[in-house]
């Protein structure tokens, strides 16, 4: 059987799709990149904002056309929208064969087999307190980075967010299981791993917490780069920072979602930190690790956010100087606490705030990049530059993209680049040594 699998949403979904691909490969299924050529079409969905759900709905419309031509094709919906909408999906889209929530993927082979002769549609969105897929091996497409899921679920219940409902309660994998997977990733040729979790740093398994896990992964022989995402600011502690600072192979880059700068809004979001605590944390990070990159997520137009509140978000951005920011207009998610708030902000106002925020972040990001010009940095060569076939693109330890002439450098090489400029979010530079020197580095 040939299957087509398309993934939307965050890296957790990407990692889950690799687990699904591993499961299906184990049953002898072959993957195809063409839905027209598949007998099984799987869509791994996201529900974080309106737009994510709208995208999934429109992809399903497309797949329905394929099924109309060939009714034997099976269509399965996985992931967070599947979990969120469950049965309701079948009401509007009766052509869907099965709907599986993120904790039910083990059932896939059985469900596919059953649905081939059973007229009953299958919806299974039970969440588990234990499922971490510790024993399943992901099937990775190759490349530079291996995603390693270390914990699942979220217990934070930020009032805007659907994730605690779509992913269920927090639970973590064993430290040994994670270290084994990282070791295997190195053996397969990945120079980098990214540890994943909805709240990656609330990792806890038996007596192990996130700092010990980081330390154990950093000790994996041959692992050159370790990243992790997303940490919650309230779960960052001094030990975590010391472990990061103490290991050369843990990248000096932290994603620290701010969401909003006004204490009143943070409280209504249930973010569990104040503006001052957040700013102090960012300062401490750069004290312990000078030059550490800090990226963030920000929501504009959360219910009740006034122009003065929004001004405080801009103010925190000026103080912290984020290297980059993912910015979102608040999107109402039915079932969350904030959906009940009556003081929703009009769409046009959200749009104006978003644009203001983008302009500010653009100038801050550029200034942060320009401050690096003139330095020599280590870059991991990842892919060809989109702009020119004669250039590579790679990232620094601080998660910044650098574009440079290829010379004799190859993909997966760690090379030294002299930075000589920045265009927007990326930097550009020149290979430092003569190209021949890089053969040995590879
Ligand atoms: N667990 C991660 C967040 C995952 S969702 C964390 O806490 O960092 C990624 C980002 O999407 C969030 O940080 C938030 O900025 C944004 N987001 C979540 N729910 C949203 C909503 N209802 N509307 C707009 N943005 C939202
Ligand atoms: Fe959502 Fe908050 Fe959990 Fe992040 S910490 S996944 S924003 S509820
Ligand atoms: Fe989306 Fe689910 Fe990730 S809602 S952002 S795919 S956890």
Considering the chain, tell me which residue range(s) the CATH 3.80.30.20 domain(s) occupy. Answer: 145-370
Considering the chain, tell me which residue range(s) the CATH 2.40.50.140 domain(s) occupy. Answer: 376-438
Q: Which atom of ligand 2 is nearest to the CA of 271?
A: 2
Mutation pick for ligand 1 pocket among 257, 317, 353 (CB with most ligand atoms within 8 Å): 257
Mutation pick for ligand 2 pocket among 158, 202, 302, 333 (CB with most ligand atoms within 8 Å): 158
Give the residues surrounding ligand 1 with Cβ less than 6 Å away.
48-49, 160-161, 163, 198-199, 230, 232, 257, 259, 297, 299, 328, 330-331, 333
Residues 6+ away with beta carbon under 8 Å from 190: 140, 143, 144, 145, 146
85 lines ligand 3 (CB under 6 A): no
Q: Which fold has domain 145-370?
A: pyruvate-formate lyase- activating enzyme (3.80.30)
Each residue's pLDDT expressed in tens, for the chain with a length of 442 residues: 999 999 999 999 999 999 999 999 999 999 999 999 999 999 999 999 999 999 999 999 999 999 999 999 999 999 999 999 999 999 999 999 999 999 999 999 999 999 988 889 999 999 999 999 998 989 998 899 999 999 999 999 999 999 999 999 999 999 999 999 999 999 999 999 999 999 999 999 999 999 999 999 999 999 999 999 999 999 999 999 999 999 999 999 999 999 999 999 999 999 999 999 999 999 999 999 999 999 999 999 999 999 999 999 999 999 999 999 999 999 999 999 999 999 999 999 999 999 999 999 999 999 999 999 999 999 999 999 998 999 999 999 999 999 999 999 999 999 999 999 998 889 999 999 754 555 554 4
Q: How far apart are CA 208 and CA 215, in angstroms?
A: 11
CA of 259 to the centre of ligand 2 (A): 10
What class, spelled out in words, does domain 376-438 have in CATH?
Answer: mainly beta
Please give the CATH architecture assigned to the domain spanning 2-124. Answer: 3-Layer(aba) Sandwich (3.40)
Q: How far apart are CA 131 and CA 127, in angstroms?
A: 8
Please tell me the pTM assigned to this model.
0.96
Contacts 24+ apart (CB under 8 A), 68-75: 68/95, 72/39, 73/38, 73/39, 73/40, 73/41, 74/39, 74/40, 74/41, 74/98, 74/112, 74/115, 74/116, 75/41, 75/42, 75/43
CB 252: neighbour CB atoms within 10 A?
20
Q: Whose CA is nearest to atom 5 of ligand 2?
A: 156
Q: What is the 3-state secondary structure (H, E, C) of 125-157?
A: CCCCCCCCCCCCCCCCCCCCEEEEECEECCCCC
From the CA of 154, which ligand is nearest? 2
Q: How far apart are CA 211 and CA 206, in angstroms?
A: 14
CA of 255 to the centre of ligand 2 (A): 13
80 lines ligand 3 (CB under 6 A): yes
338 lines ligand 2 (CB under 6 A): no
Considering the chain, tell me which residue range(s) the CATH 3.40.50.12160 domain(s) occupy. Answer: 2-124
Contact 179, 217 (CB under 8 A): yes
What's the Rg (C-alpha) of the chain?
A: 23
CA of 48 to the centre of ligand 3 (A): 6
Q: Which two tokens stand for residue 304?
A: 């009740």
CA of 410 to the centre of ligand 1 (A): 36
């Amino acid at each position: 059987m040939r299957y087509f699998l398309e993934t939307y949403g965050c890296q957790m979904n990407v990692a889950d799709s690799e687990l699904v691909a591993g499961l299906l490969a184990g049953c002898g299924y072959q993957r195809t990149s063409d839905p027209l050529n598949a007998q099984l079409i799987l869509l791994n969905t996201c529900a974080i904002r309106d737009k994510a759900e709208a995208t999934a709905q429109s992809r399903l419309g497309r797949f329905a056309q394929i099924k109309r031509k060939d009714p034997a094709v099976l269509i399965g919906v996985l992931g967070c929208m599947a979990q969120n909408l469950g049965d309701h999906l079948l009401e509007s889209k009766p052509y869907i064969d099965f709907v599986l929530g993120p904790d039910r993927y083990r059932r896939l082979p059985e469900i596919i087999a059953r649905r081939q002769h059973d007229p009953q549609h299958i919806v299974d969105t039970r969440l588990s307190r234990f499922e971490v897929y510790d024993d399943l091996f992901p099937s990775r497409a190759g490349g530079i980075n291996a995603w390693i899921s270390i914990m699942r679920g979220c217990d934070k219940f930020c009032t805007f967010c659907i994730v605690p409902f779509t992913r269920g309660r927090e639970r973590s994998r064993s430290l040994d299981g994670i270290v084994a997977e990282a070791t295997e990733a190195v053996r397969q040729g990945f120079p980098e791993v990214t540890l994943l979790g909805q709240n990656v740093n609330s990792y806890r398994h038996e007596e192990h917490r996130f700092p010990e896990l980081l330390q154990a992964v950093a000790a994996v022989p041959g692992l050159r780069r370790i990243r992790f995402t997303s940490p919650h600011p309230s779960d960052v502690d001094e030990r975590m920072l010391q472990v990061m600072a103490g290991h050369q192979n843990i990248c000096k880059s932290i994603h620290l979602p701010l969401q909003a700068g006004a204490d009143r809004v943070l409280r209504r979001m249930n973010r569990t930190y104040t503006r001052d605590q957040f700013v102090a944390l960012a300062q401490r990070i750069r004290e312990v690790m000078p030059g550490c990159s800090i990226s963030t997520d920000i929501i504009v137009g959360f219910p009740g956010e006034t122009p003065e509140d929004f001004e405080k978000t801009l103010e925190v951005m000026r103080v912290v100087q984020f290297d980059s920011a993912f910015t979102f207009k608040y999107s109402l998610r039915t079932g969350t606490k904030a959906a009940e708030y009556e003081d929703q902000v009009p769409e046009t106002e959200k749009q104006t705030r978003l644009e203001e925020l983008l302009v500010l972040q653009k100038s801050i990001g550029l200034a942060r990049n320009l401050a690096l010009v003139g330095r020599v940095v280590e870059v991991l060569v990842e892919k060809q530059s989109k702009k020119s076939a004669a250039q590579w693109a790679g990232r620094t330890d601080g998660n910044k993209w650098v574009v440079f002439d290829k010379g004799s450098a190859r993909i997966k090489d760690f090379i030294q680049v002299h930075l000589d400029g920045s265009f927007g979010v990326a930097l550009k530079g020149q290979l430092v040594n003569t190209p021949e020197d890089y053969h040995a580095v590879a």
